[in-house]
Chains A and B, each alone.
Chain A
Amino acid sequence: MKELICITCPRGCHLRVDDNLNVTGNFCPRGEAYAKAELTHPVRMVTSTVAIASISESRLPVKTKEPVPKEFIFPVMEEIRKTVVKAPIKIGDVVIENVCNSGVDVIATKDIEK
């Protein structure tokens, strides 16, 4: 039995899911869909910053282009921490390709000209 809070709407139903993925506690069907997705394939966006050589800024904000499986969060952060880039850089530029072999790139989320 697993317990989780549905985040699909402000009601925030407390869902209970048994080993056969039967969901209870949901007020509407969206809660069931949420619980199933969350328990079979939980994914998250990772956002952070990397060091940048620039005359105006010291950090470049970045994100994973797509959500990555939850267990990738800390390994992805390790790679992000090691990375240093150089200005100029544009929103969407790839900062780390295929990070941790997740199939997902880490990309810049800000334009830094110089």
Chain B
Amino acid sequence: MINRKLVIIGGGSAGMAAAIKAYELGERDILIIEKNAYLGGILNQCIHNGFGLHEFKEELTGPEFMTRFSKKVDELGISYALESNVLSISDDKVVTYSNAKDGLVEVKAEAIILTTGCYERNAGAIQIPGDRPSGIYTAGQAQLFANCYGYLVGKRVFILGSGDIGLIMARRMTLEGAKVLGVAELMPYSAGLNRNIVQCLKDYDIPLYLSHTVKKVIGESHLEKVVIAKVDEKMNFIEGTEQIFNCDCLLLSVGLLPNVDLFNKLPLSMSKTRGAKVNQAMETEIPGIFSAGNVLHVHDLVDYVVEEAREAAVGAISYLNGELKHEGHVYDVNPGVGINYVVPQKVFLDDVKDNLSFKFRVAKPMKDINILITEGNNIIKKIFKPAIVPSEMEIVHVSKDLFKRESNEIKVYVEEKK
């Protein structure tokens, strides 16, 4: 068995950012374990621009963004194992991975950061009625085929779900000569960013059908038609609103889920994000095991993934230095009215250095609202927002000094103006 101070599982943007931060904080005994043959994760296939506006003050493509980080990893001489699939983590922090060269390898870690990203909900997960022909892909699969292998999965395309990857692929496939017939979204508002609605759909006159979903998939061996229909507030189909599209390809962009497989066998509870519950240091309920990036909660901006990974690295180094005491005043952090989830779910106030950050998503689009952060009956922070949407994660930074230690619950909620 090999011994390592810090093992980082998953070499995407979160894994690389965490490793670099840990190095900068003085740690040299770091190992990144990555399943693919390269560092960078999902960004390798995201060839569009729009990455790094906060981090580098310029708009990079995914490959450019990941290369800046992988170059830094190489410059610093941080070690990594590629084409190495992590199979398990034990509760005493033994990480087992396998690769073609070394076979099974066990690494005993003192601290672990899990940065394994997310996966896409697929056809099985949403149970569309009708046939099961070929020609149905997730938007991310279509993206991988198009951008890494130069292969278009269809010529006449319909897209279910208005998640950002679906919108990006609507543009991508149009540019490559496919006809994108439309995008259907179950909710009355888009799941993707406005910017993508405008630049990926409106620019190419691709219709967006809100409050619509696929009612039936038709095709014997290959997809031939999809039938969509409008739904009412209770999500029941409205008779007579059916529309038929002749298409050879249906792309699904119906949500992403944290890839927490490696956590499933550990005694950890999960939060509303579908990632592990964490405290202010991005530390799970097992001391010394941390989590960041899309495996913790699905992010829309890589800049925030990187920021969160750095918080996890700071946490891991504090843990290795014996500075995370898990003592003193503790808070549970709960989402209140209008909020879907908040990260972190627990705060050990005495382990906080100076600032705390709360990341959350709202439950529906709202205008002219206040976001309130409270501790018991005390309002700690109140922020006016002219507009807020579920597709954009919010971050609020709060100074540690504002907490009065009078209650054990922190709540984040929305106050709508009457």
Contacts and interface: CB of A to CB of B under 8 A. Distances in A.
A111 B68 CA distance: 11
Contacts of B64: 91, 109-110
A54 interface: no
A24 interface: no
Contact of B194 (A10, A49, A57, A73): A10
Nearest to B64: A109
B202 A47 contact: no
Nearest to A76: B175
A28 B61 CA distance: 30
Given A7-B199, A77-B175, A47 B61 contact: yes
Contact of B61 (A9, A61, A73): A61
A70 B193 CA distance: 20
A4 B78 CA distance: 48
Interface string B388-416: 11011000000000000000000000000
Interface string A16-53: 00000000000110000000000000001111110100
B200 to A, nearest CB: 10
Given A11-B367, A61-B147, A5 B47 contact: no
Interface in A64-100: 70, 73-74, 77, 91
A73 B202 CA distance: 14
B387 A12 contact: yes
A9 to B, nearest CB: 7
A63 B49 contact: yes
A61 B203 contact: no
B386 A27 contact: yes
A52 to B, nearest CB: 10
Contacts, number: 77
Nearest to B65: A109
Interface residues of A, number: 29
A101 interface: no
Contacts of B150: 49, 51, 58-59
Interface in B22-77: 47-49, 59-61, 63-64, 67
B197 interface: yes
B266 interface: no
Nearest to A80: B175
Interface string B130-167: 00000000000000001111100000000000000000
Contacts of A58: 148-150
Given A44-B199, A61-B147, A7 B194 contact: yes
B194 A91 contact: no
Contacts of A73: 175
A9 B63 contact: no
Given A5-B202, A73-B175, A91-B67, A61 B194 contact: no
Q: Which of B175, B176, B199, B389 has the most CB of A within 10 A?
A: B175
27 contacts: A4-B198, A4-B202, A5-B194, A7-B198, A9-B387, A10-B193, A10-B194, A10-B387, A10-B389, A11-B367, A11-B387, A27-B386, A27-B387, A28-B386, A44-B199, A45-B49, A49-B147, A49-B150, A58-B150, A61-B147, A70-B203, A74-B175, A91-B64, A109-B47, A109-B60, A109-B63, A111-B67
Kindly list the 9 A-B residue pairs having the minimum CB-CB distance in the complex, ordered from nearest: A11-B387, A61-B47, A110-B63, A12-B194, A7-B195, A109-B61, A59-B150, A10-B389, A45-B49
Given A10-B388, A48-B176, A61-B61, 4 more contacts: A7-B199, A10-B193, A48-B175, A59-B147
Interface of A: 4-5, 7, 9-12, 27-28, 44-49, 51, 57-59, 61, 63, 70, 73-74, 77, 91, 109-111
